[in-house]
Amino acid sequence: MNVKDFYFELPQELIAQDPLEDRAASRLLVMSKETGEIEHRTFRNITEYLRPGDCLVINDTKVIPARLFGIKEDTGAKIEVLLLKRREKDIWETLVKPGKKSRPGATLVFGEGLLKGTVLEVVEEGNRLIQFQYKGIFEEVLDQLGQMPLPPYITHQLQDKNRYQTVYARQAGSAAAPTAGLHFTQELLKQIEEMGVKVARVTLHVGLGTFRPVKVDNVLDHHMHSEFYEVSEEEAKKINQTKALGGRVICVGTTSCRTLESATGEDGILKAGSGWTEIFIYPGYRFKILDGLLTNFHLPESTLVMLVSALAGREQVLHAYEEAIGERYRFFSFGDAMFIY
């Protein structure tokens, strides 16, 4: 299976640079995974495709202001640090630019000394382990100094930091937002629950893989980065009960999907717990628990397009993308949504 099989031509102007004022006003492409039939709706219409007894699974991770700008203490050279994942309390795996100037032992200074970091070692793919020193609470210092790590294809400055968070974000730890969830408002979620649809929360902290393109020709040669996930006993029970009673499990975003598929056994039972997942879902994969997926429109040749193709078929997905481009849908993080059922 070649990466080029998942290529499509995307006009630059369809990459959404700013979020809509009204989260739920995005467009919604609805597609049957069985027939490939397509409808064009508005995101608020999602309620028409949900049924009492279904379970909507959301990822409650919260994006941290993970991008830091500082200097090297000895030379004053400018550096940029992106926090990827916490290894221990104050030790983080990071992406540093320029990396060559940040060798083990180097001290990095942020906010005129409010935060300092010592490079401990260079790890996989040139990432740096950095131990931070500060006074007070790390999250508060980070909130003061850090910037939201918007994807490289978004060039506009974000006016309101909360617009790169879902309204249900709780568990801090992501380097990128689970963007399918950005379309929900509290009112819409309340309306969905009042319909008799359960809402289950899981956590997957989105990491470096979001920013890294697939660099191999053969899909099978690609290695996913590990990301931390957590499923509580209560939420696992809610999801398993849905399946037992004949309801559908509908994941909001590829991150919720990957969490559930990682934590579900071959018997189709979701197990509570936490851990690291490197699950890579591409055509040929047999879903163990997921029935439907609500997702955004993804980059050409990305692992996310491959995941969506595993659910609905590559040709059907590429046809839907072609139609979305023809209809001038907005793509990527701040773009429109797609519901596959």
Predicted local confidence at residue 157, as pLDDT: 86
Q: Is the pLDDT of residue 212 over 80?
A: no
pLDDT band (50, 70, 90) for residue 210: low
pLDDT band (50, 70, 90) for residue 255: very high
Alpha-carbon separation of residue 22 from 83, 185, 296 (angstroms): 30, 9, 16
Tokens of 37: 């039939």
pTM of the model: 0.91
Q: How far apart are CA 82 and CA 87, in angstroms?
A: 14
B/e letters for 210-229, b = 16+ CB within 10 Å, e = fewer, are: bbeebeeeebeebebbebbb
Q: Is the pLDDT of residue 49 over 90?
A: yes
Q: Is the pLDDT of residue 165 over 90?
A: yes
Tokens of 162: 């909360």
* Angle, helices 254-263/303-312, rounded to nearest 10 degrees: 70
Predicted local confidence at residue 213, as pLDDT: 76
Tokens of 1: 């299976």
Predicted local confidence at residue 125, as pLDDT: 84
Query: Which of 63-72, 81-90, 165-174, 332-341 has the weakest average pLDDT?
Result: 81-90
Identify whether the C-beta of residue 24 lies closer than 8 Å to the C-beta of residue 185.
yes
Instruction: Give me the phi and psi of 252, to 5 degrees please.
Output: -95, 100
Q: Is the pLDDT of residue 10 over 90?
A: yes
Tokens of 66: 């993970």
Identify whether the C-beta of residue 247 lies closer than 8 Å to the C-beta of residue 199.
no
Q: How many CB atoms lie within 10 A of CB 143?
A: 13
